[in-house]
Amino acid sequence: MVIEEEFVKRLTQLRMAKGVSAREMSLAIGQSENYINAIENKQMLPSMTGFFYIFEYLEITPQTFFEFDNKNPYRLDEIISYLKYLSPEELDHLTAFFKSITKKK
């Protein structure tokens, strides 16, 4: 299943970005020491509760986790937190700037 492979890649990417071992993360979320390793090796999938523990530990929303093309979710979330305080006019200026540097179609 494609979504399982993407999930495993994303989990590994975000865990490594956080700088923790699979064992350390497993224990931190209250699981056996090989829990995350088993998920990353496609031996099992987490329960729904397990998903939420993983998201909470990684300090990421489920929505952001499943945005597989978002390679820098922590930076993007930080930027978004600042954007919330801008006026509509300031957001318009930034939108124009982003369009000019990304050559959005």
| 22's tokens | 């699979």
The residues near 53 (Cβ < 8 Å, ≥ 6 apart) are: 29, 30, 31, 46
Sketch the domain layout of the chain as residue ranges: 1-68, 72-105
Whether the pLDDT of residue 84 is over 70: the answer is: yes
Q: What is the pLDDT of residue 1?
A: 61
Q: What is the pLDDT of residue 74?
A: 82
Backbone φ, ψ for residue 84 (5° rounding): -60, -20
Residue the block writes with tokens 């509509």: 88
Within 10 Å of residue 13's Cβ, how many Cβ atoms? Answer: 13
User: Taking a C-beta distance cutoff of 8 angstroms, is the pair 32, 44 a contact?
Assistant: no
CATH class of 1-68: mainly alpha
Q: What is the pLDDT of residue 11?
A: 96
